[in-house]
Amino acid sequence: MHTKVWKIHSKNRLDKEIQGAADMLKAGEVVAFPTETVYGLGADATNAAAVRKIFEAKGRPQDNPLIAHVASVEQLNTLVTFIPDYVYRLIDAFSPGPLTYILPASDFCADNVRAGLSTIGVRIPSHPIALALIQAAGRPVAAPSANVSGKPSPTAAAHVFEDLNGRISGLIDGGQTGVGLESTVIDCTGEIPIILRPGGITKEQLELEAGTVMMDPGLVTSSEDRPKAPGMKYKHYAPEVPLYLFAGTDRAFRDFVDKEKQAGNRIGVLVSDQTADIFAEDTNIHRLGETIEEIASSLYDGLRFFKQANVDKIMCETFSEQGIGQAVMNRLRKAADRVIEE
């Protein structure tokens, strides 16, 4: 299959490319597009055969439901049968944006979008290209992250191309995404919202609008509960070489890396700008940025980076779980083979 790539650099040329991609969606093909979180792999959510192509292209387990992307609250309404009051407050505050609502599903979308569940995940993305594409398609667009299942999510068109070239019909290249981690997924079927996947909108932000917000107990690694979002039970976001997380002082981290190097291991180190300065000059370092927002935004690119760099192991620093740090650490723990505590 040939993958058609549209590059969108300037806003005024948006219409032509978007129309081409929307036509593909309407014809039942799959097209990757940028959102403010990560690139999505879209298909017409009302067309079961089109949705099936998403699962095939990604190698995605059949029991893992997809998010339906819509362009407005009116469109969201057609996909669900009930919306609690607190969801309207969350919509006012955070939609369009990186927040996905799990709500009781209407039968508007094809069954395989929700993998047979009675609920559906719905999100209004804020990226102008995503919004324009959904509008031009005139229907909800089912879209998981546009990576091969198990790999880090794509934050640049090059990542999508690397994973899916020849397996999808189209790709809109709209440059780098912003947030860099996926949307927060919240279960809104009960009286109190429950975070099933931490993401772009933090627990603190949600609580300002909706009062008490719970974390899915299944997200805690030591817990016996299973995560409620089917996708959260898989090992995920993993680079192609082993990833070790280091929890300890900077000094212990540097000593650990030095010892590994002396033992003949080729180590790639993934750290914040601040921590980068403690390592010897000949260390193979990839800097993720200074603030936790910058780190979130460049994390997946960092996880993919060392693939080309010929290392045996990636060692990554652990970060504070404040704000979006919670989502950063959730993704790192899922990607990691080992946590080293010293």
SS3 of residue 108 by DSSP: coil
Do 200 and 179 contact (CB within 8 A), yes or no?
yes
Which listed residue (80, 196, 314, 332) binds ligand TXA by CB under 6 A? 196
Residue 100 in contact with ligand TXA, rule: CB under 6 A: yes
Q: Interface with ligand TXA includes 35 (CB under 6 A)?
A: yes
**67 belongs to the binding site for ligand TXA (CB under 6 A):** yes
User: Is 31 one of the binding residues for ligand TXA (CB under 6 A)?
Assistant: no
Angle between helices 128-137 and 14-26 (to 10 degrees): 50
Query: Given candidates 145, 155, 318, 326, which one binds ligand TXA under the rule CB under 6 A?
Result: 145
Asked if 38 is part of the footprint of ligand TXA (rule: CB under 6 A), the reply reads yes
Q: Is there a cis peptide before residue 217, judged by omega within 30 degrees of 0? A: no
CB of 124 to ligand TXA, least distance (A): 10
CB distance 42 to 130 below 8 Å? no
CB of 183 to ligand TXA, least distance (A): 3
Asked if 5 touches ligand TXA (CB under 6 A), the answer is no
Classify each residue of 1-22 as buried b or exposed e, where b means 16 or more C-beta atoms within 10 Å of its C-beta.
Answer: eebbebebeeeeebeebbeebb
Is the CB of residue 172 less than 8 Å from the CB of residue 34?
yes
Closest distance of CB 268 from Mg ion, Å: 23
What tokens were used for 145?
């992250």
Q: Does 119 bind ligand TXA (CB under 6 A)?
A: yes
324 contacts 330 by C-beta, under 8 angstroms? no
Residue whose CB is nearest to ligand TXA in the complex, by number: 231
Please say which residue, 71 or 315, places its beta carbon nearer to ligand TXA.
71
Residues near ligand TXA, by CB under 6 A:
35, 37-38, 40, 64-67, 98, 100, 102, 114, 117, 119-121, 123, 125, 143-145, 182-183, 185, 196-197, 228-232
